[in-house]
Structure formats: structure tokens, C-alpha cells
Structure 1
Amino acid sequence: MIAYIHGEVAEITEQAIVLDTNGVGYEMICPNPFRFQADIGQKIKVYTYHYVREDAQILYGFQNQEEKLLFAKILNVSGIGPKGALAVLATTSVQDFVVAVEQEDEKFLTSFPGVGKKTARQMILDLKGKLPFNYTLETGTMEENIDSSNQQALHEALEALKALGYSDREIKQVKPALAKEAEATADTYIRKGLSLLMK
């Protein structure tokens, strides 16, 4: 099993990135390859899942260990393949997915491409209580975990990031981390958000 690859981001396509390591280009299919846009020409570590089947060997790439681990867990769900697992990771954060499974939020789970009620129920059955992530289940929205003065600042920062051209999907992925910032101003949230989005 290839745990990770350290190399230079040489190319980005709609489905994958190519990491150049000592003259060898490793193509890795990613949930959202354009997250690596700021890393073109830079050396980075990409966590990999080596998927093997009779007719193909495919490398899947992830920005962190949590995404890789969740991908592997989702693959264990009956009826879910790599394409479905990638779709989940491309459209939500690890934390939001874990919360949805633990709270049996079928409406949230069926919002993913190709996931109907039957598959959502199977996800809950196969994964509830078995995901090794330490996320609290206090609320489905991170904004409710911070006081009202910070909620407005966070809202302003998210709108600013959207105005800078970042997609709703990208913003949603950094929102949990931003919400953890205590006593932050809109400018602080924006700087932190840009730092996370450019990783």
C-alpha cells in the first residue's frame, strides 16, 4: 500500500493531479483537484489510497489523513464505490459527514450525487459508531457554536471569500475551522480562511 507521495504538483485536471517525484509522474484522482491549484510547482505531500481491481490499479489522492480514512470507510459501505466516495468528499467536510451519520440525517446524506434513501440508510447502518473521528454532535451548523458577535463577523468573512471567487463547496470545507476561532474579527476570519484555502 502506498501511504503518501511527496513531490511537485506538475499538472491539474478536472479529475486528478499529477505529482512529479524524481522524474516520475504519479496521477492521483482527487475529490476536488483544484484545491491544489495554489501548489502548482511546489513540493507537497499527498496522502494516497491505492485501489486495486482486476482490470485497473488507481491512486486516489487526499490533502490529509482524515479524508483518506473516511474514503476508505465509505468504500466499505455496500453499494458505494470509489466514484460515490469521491463525490461525498468533494461536496462536504469530514466533520459534517460524521455528524450526519451519527445523527442519522438521511436528508443530508441523500444530497450527495447517486445517493438515494436506501444507500443513505446503508451508510448509517454500516458507519454509525464506527467512524474514528472525535467530532462533537452539538449542532449541524458550526455558527451556532459561537456567540452572536462572532456569528456576524464569520458571516461577513464567508461572503468576502465568496466575492474573491471561492466556491460554496470550498468555503463550506473551511467553515468548521473558522468557527473554532474565538473572539475573531471579520478580517481575522478572512486571513485564516485564505490561509486554509491556499493550502
Structure 2
Amino acid sequence: MYAYIYGTLEEVDSQQVVIEANGIGYHIFVPGLILQKLPSKGSKVKLYTYMHLREDCQELYGFLEKEEKIFFEKLITVSGVGPKAAIGMLSTLTVNQLALAILTGDRKTLCKAPGIGKKTADRIILELKDKIDKDAMSFSDTASASPGSWSNERMEAFQALQALGYGAAEAESALAGLEEKDASALIRLALRKLDNPGR
């Protein structure tokens, strides 16, 4: 229907926005993490949109990046995951964190999203694991390079952190921004960050 909507940001609340374009106000549901990135009210904004048609209404969902919309569309292909659940996941985790959790089978991280239980998380992993392009995980929602481009040392450190019980998103975040070192040094530095999250 609509590839994107470009207009003036008129209203913002905890789950949705209103964008005025050509005299029409569009009600658009937006993930919480994306709401935080929006400009101030009165500014121009472009949202890539997905229209969900139901018997009783039509709903628009909006995203700042095309890749976010594509990932949303992947999520709602999974049995039991509707648009609201997918928005909840993208409100809790970035696209890179979600993709990494799916690729590594990290159920614990997926279950952080509201309404996602163990069975649904397992279904998401099963149905999407082969549909995620590792090399495409490079847009700017994390401070680290995409897992597909990590060195062997960084990947070894990542796997070691997971073996210690940390989720994929936690491990990736802990390794983000660390200079290249051998695996044991990366693990030590990452554990220091995890033990002192405020520093």
C-alpha cells in the first residue's frame, strides 16, 4: 500500500505517532526503541510503513530504517507472532540483537520481549534462523561490527560469554567497542563491563 510516509510529526505517545502529510493525519504504531530516535514534534520525518488489514480496521506500523520494516515483516510470518508482538520485540531489542539471538538460538534474550514465551521463542528461532542474512546485519543500531564480520577471537569470546550464561544481546553489547585483542583478553574486558554496567 504505502512504501513510506513523509510529513510533519504532530503527535507522539508511548506506542504511536501522528504524521500529517498533504493535509491528512496518519496514525502509525512505532516500536519504543524507534520512538526514542524520532525528532521533536513539528519536525519532518520519514517512516517506512507496513499496513495490516483486519476485518474491523486498518493499522499502520512505521520504522525509521527499511531494514527494521523488513525484519518486522519476517517476524510476523512466524505462527503465533502478530504485529503487536513483533512491535513489542522491536521495542525491547534492536534488530541486530534480535537477529543475533535467533542465529545463536538464544531463547533467553527473545523471552525478554513482552508476550514472548519459551515456545514462541523456539518457534521464531526455528522458522527464521535460515532466513537471516548475517552479512546484512550492519546498519547502525549497535556500536559493534556485525557478527558476520567478527574476527575469530571476537567470535570465540562471544561464544565463551554465552557458555557462562550471558544472552546473545548481553554478550554482543559487552564486546561492542572493545579493541581487537586475543580471545582471553576480550573475555576479561567484557566481563568487567558486565560486572560494572554503569562504567
TM-score of the two chains, using structure 2 as the length reference = 0.70
How far apart in 2 are the matches of 1:119 and 1:100?
A: 13
CA contact (8 A) 2:103 2:132 kept: no
How far apart in 2 are the matches of 1:77 and 1:34?
A: 25
Q: Out of 170, 179, 198, which is 1:147 matched to? A: 179
How far apart in 1 are the matches of 2:112 and 2:13?
A: 25
Letter in 2 for 1:112: A
Secondary structure of the 1:73 match is helix
Deviation at 1:142, TM superposition (A): 3.6
Question: Is the alpha carbon distance of 1:82 and 1:22 closer, same or farther for their aligned partners in structure 2, counting shifts above 3 Å?
Answer: same
* Residues 95-134 of structure 1 aligned to structure 2 (within 5 Å): 95-132=96-133, 134=135
How far apart in 2 are the matches of 1:103 and 1:36?
A: 28
Deviation at 1:110, TM superposition (A): 1.4
* Residues 43-62 of structure 1 aligned to structure 2 (within 5 Å): 43-62=44-63
**1:39 match:** 40
| Structure 1: runs of 5 or more not aligned | 161-199
**1:10 match:** 10
Bigger drift between 78-87 and 132-141 goes to 132-141
Letter in 1 for 2:41: I
Deviation at 1:38, TM superposition (A): 2.9
CA contact (8 A) 1:9 1:43 kept: yes
CA contact (8 A) 2:20 2:26 kept: yes
CA contact (8 A) 1:3 1:49 kept: yes
TM-score of the two chains, using structure 1 as the length reference = 0.70
CA RMSD after TM alignment: 2.5
Deviation at 1:2, TM superposition (A): 0.7
CA contact (8 A) 1:73 1:131 kept: no
**Percent identity of paired positions between Structure 1 and Structure 2:** 37
CA contact (8 A) 2:48 2:69 kept: yes
**2:79 match:** 78
**1:170 match:** none
Equivalenced residues, count: 156
- Ranked by relative contact order (alpha carbons within 8 Å, sequence separation 6 or more), the top structure is 1
How far apart in 1 are the matches of 2:40 and 2:134?
A: 27
